[in-house]
Chain A
Amino acid sequence: MDVTVTTPAGTGRGAWPPAFVVRVGRLAVTIALTFLGLLFVTFVIGRVLPIDPALAILGDRALPHVYERVRHELGLDLPLYHQFWNYLVKALRGDLGSSVLTGRPVIADIRQFFPATLELATFAIVLGVVLGVPMGVWAAVARGRWPDHLVRVLVLIGYSVPVFWLGLVGLLLFYARLDLVAGPGRLDVAYEYVVEPWSGIVLLDSLRAGELRVFRNALAHIVLPGSILGYLSLAYIARMTRSFMLAELGQEYVVAARVKGLSEARVIWRHALGNVMVPMVTVIALSYAYLLEGAVLTETVFAWPGLGLYITHSLFNADMTAVLGGTLIVGVAFVGLNLFSDVLYTFFDPRAR
C-alpha cells in the first residue's frame, strides 16, 4: 500500500548529514537571527517613537535637573550605537530589565500578565480544535453538498468578522441583555482574592483549591471572549482540515481501504484523519501562536489583563524594555511552536526523516 502524506512544505533527501540534523541546525540559526532581529526592530522603534521615555516616569512637571538625571539613568544621553550595544548585552544576559512604568522586572510583569493570555488562548484553541476538526472532516466527506456549504459559510464568516465588533455585540447581547455570561475582566471582585495564585491560570488554580464557585465565575467570564477567539481559530482549523482531508481522501490507499471493505467511518476517522493529523499539528500550532499575539483587540474589548494589553500599554508609554520583553515572549512562543511542529513533522513524516 502506498502511504504518503500531502504536506504543505518540507522536503527530505537521504543525504548526510541527515535531514533532521540539518533542519534543527537551520532552525537554531533562524531562532538566533530572529531574536537579534526582534531586538533590533524593538530598539529602532523605541528610539524613533515620538514619545519621550523620561516623560513616562516623570510626568510633565519635573524640574529640569530631575529630567536630565532620569535621561542619564535610562542611558538616553549616550550615542545611539552605544545604546543599542547596552541593550543587546543586557538582553543576551537574559536581563530583560525593569519596566519603567511598573518599576518591576519585566519578567515579573510578564509572569503576571502572560497566564491570562495563555488561559484565553488555550480555551479558544481547545474549542477551535474540538469543533473545527470534525467540521472540516464533515465538510470534506460531504463535499459539494449542504454540510460543505454550511461549513464554508461559517468559516468565511469567521474570516470576515471584526473581532472587536463581535466582542461588543456579544457583550451587548449576552451580558447586558440576556445576562447569560459575566462581564469584562477575569473574575468578579467578590471572588478575586479567594484563591491564591499558583499557576496564574484562574480556571486551574480554582480547581486546585477546590473552589468551585470561583471556577464557575471564571468560566462565566472566559466563555464569551474564549468562544469568540475560539470561533476564529475554528474557522482556520476547519478550513485547513477540509482541504487536507480532501487531498487525503483522493489518495489511492483510501480507495484500497474501501475496496478491502473497511467501514467508511474507519477509513475516514482512523486512516485519513490519522495521516492528516501531522500537518494539522502545524496548523494548530500556528493558530495557537496567532492567538497568543492576536488577542490584543479581544483583550481590549473584554478588559482581559493579558500580554496584548500589557505590550500595547507599554508601547504608548515608550516603555520599550517592557515592549521588548513582551514581544520576545510572543516571539519565543511563536518560534517554539514552529519548532515543535517541525520536530513532530520530522518524526512522523516518512519523507522528512
Chain B
Amino acid sequence: MTAARVRAWLLADAPASRAQARLGRVYLGVAALSKNPLAVVGLVIVAALVLVAALAPRLATHSPYGQDLERRLRPPEDAHRFGTDQLGRDILSRVVYGARVTLAIVVLVAVIVAPIGLAVGTVAGYFGGWVDGVLMRVTDIFMAFPRLILALALVAVLGPGIVNAILAIAFTTWPPYARIARAETLTIRESDFIAAVRLQGASPIRVLWGHIVPLCVSSLIVRVTLDMAGIILVAAGLGFLGLGARPPEPEWGAMVSEGRQFLLDQWWIATIPGAAIFLVGLGFNLLGDGLRDVLDPKAR
C-alpha cells in the first residue's frame, strides 16, 4: 500500500471495521497534534525521556552509584560532563538513570490512579442515590485533606522508598479523576443510546464497562497527561523532603535536596537534576496541552 492509500483507508468515511475506525481517529489526532508545534516539542521531550531511560546503561559514562571521594565536587569537565556530587559520583550518569525512576513513578501512578478514579466516578455517577452520596463524600474528604501533607504522612507510615512514594501519591491523586469520571457519567447516563442498551436488558456492569467507561477514557487520558507533570513534581517534592527514593537511588528530587548544601559553590549538583525535573514536567505539560486540544475540543 502506498502512503496515499493508507491515508485514504484511515480517513474512510465508512470504515469497514472497528479497528479501521479507531486507527482513523488516532491518525486524525496525530495529524492535529503535529500541527501544534508546542505539542510536538512536548512529544519530543517525553520521547527523549523514554529513550534515555531505555538506553541509560549506554548513555551513562559512569556507574550512577560509583563513589570516588578523591574526585568529589568536580565542576563539569571532560571526564564528568555534569560534574560530580559530594560523594564523587558522576552527575550525568545519575541524571540519566534518574530518568528511569521518574518514568517508573509516572507510569505506575497513572496505572493505579486512573482505574480507581474511573471505577469510583462511574459507579457513583451511574447509580446515583446513596452510592453516589457515600462515594462523593469520601472523595470530598480526600480533596479537603492537604495533599502533600497526606502524602508525607503516608510515606512516614510506610517508610521511604519509590514504591511507597508511588502508593502515597496515588492515594492522594485519585479524587479529581473520580470527579471527572462522575461528571462525564452523569451526562452520558441520560443519553438515548444508554437507555436503549438498558432496554435491551444489559446488566449495570455491562452498561458501565461496555458503554460508559470507554466514553470517559479520553477525558481521563487528557487529565492524566496533564497531571503527569504534577505527579513528577509531587514525587520530586517528596524526594526533596527525604521521603522519596532511598539513597543512593538517583531520584532527581533527592539529588536537588542533597545538592542544596552546595548550591553556592557547586551550583551544578542541585541545578542540573532540578532542570531535568523542569524539562520533563514541561514536556508532559506541552504534550498534555496539545492532547487536550485534539481530544477535547470543548476545552479549547
Contacts and interface: CB of A to CB of B under 8 A. Distances in A.
A104 to B, nearest CB: 21
A50 B281 contact: no
Contacts, number: 138
A315 B289 contact: no
Interface in A271-325: 293-294, 296-297, 300, 308, 311-312, 315-316, 323
A328 B189 CA distance: 36
Would you call the interface of chain A mostly helix, strand, loop, or mixed? helix
B183 A9 contact: yes
A161 B232 CA distance: 10
A332 B86 CA distance: 43
B244 to A, nearest CB: 12
Given A159-B285, A161-B278, A293 B146 contact: yes
A37 B135 CA distance: 13
B68 interface: no
A168 B289 contact: no
Contacts of A160: 229, 233, 278, 281-282, 284-285
Would you call the interface of chain B mostly helix, strand, loop, or mixed? helix
Interface string A153-164: 100110111111
B144 interface: yes
Nearest to B229: A160
Nearest to B141: A37
A315 B144 contact: no
Interface stretch (B3-11, B46-54, B70-78, B150-158): B150-158
16 contacts: A34-B141, A38-B141, A41-B141, A49-B157, A156-B285, A160-B284, A161-B281, A164-B236, A164-B256, A165-B256, A165-B278, A168-B260, A243-B300, A246-B300, A293-B149, A323-B153
Given A29-B137, A160-B278, A160-B281, 17 more contacts: A41-B145, A45-B154, A49-B153, A49-B156, A160-B284, A161-B281, A162-B236, A162-B277, A164-B240, A171-B263, A293-B147, A294-B148, A297-B148, A300-B241, A315-B152, A323-B153, A331-B146
Interface of A: 9, 29-30, 33-34, 37-38, 41, 45, 48-51, 149, 152-153, 156-157, 159-165, 168-169, 171-172, 176, 243, 246, 293-294, 296-297, 300, 308, 311-312, 315-316, 323, 327, 330-331, 334-335
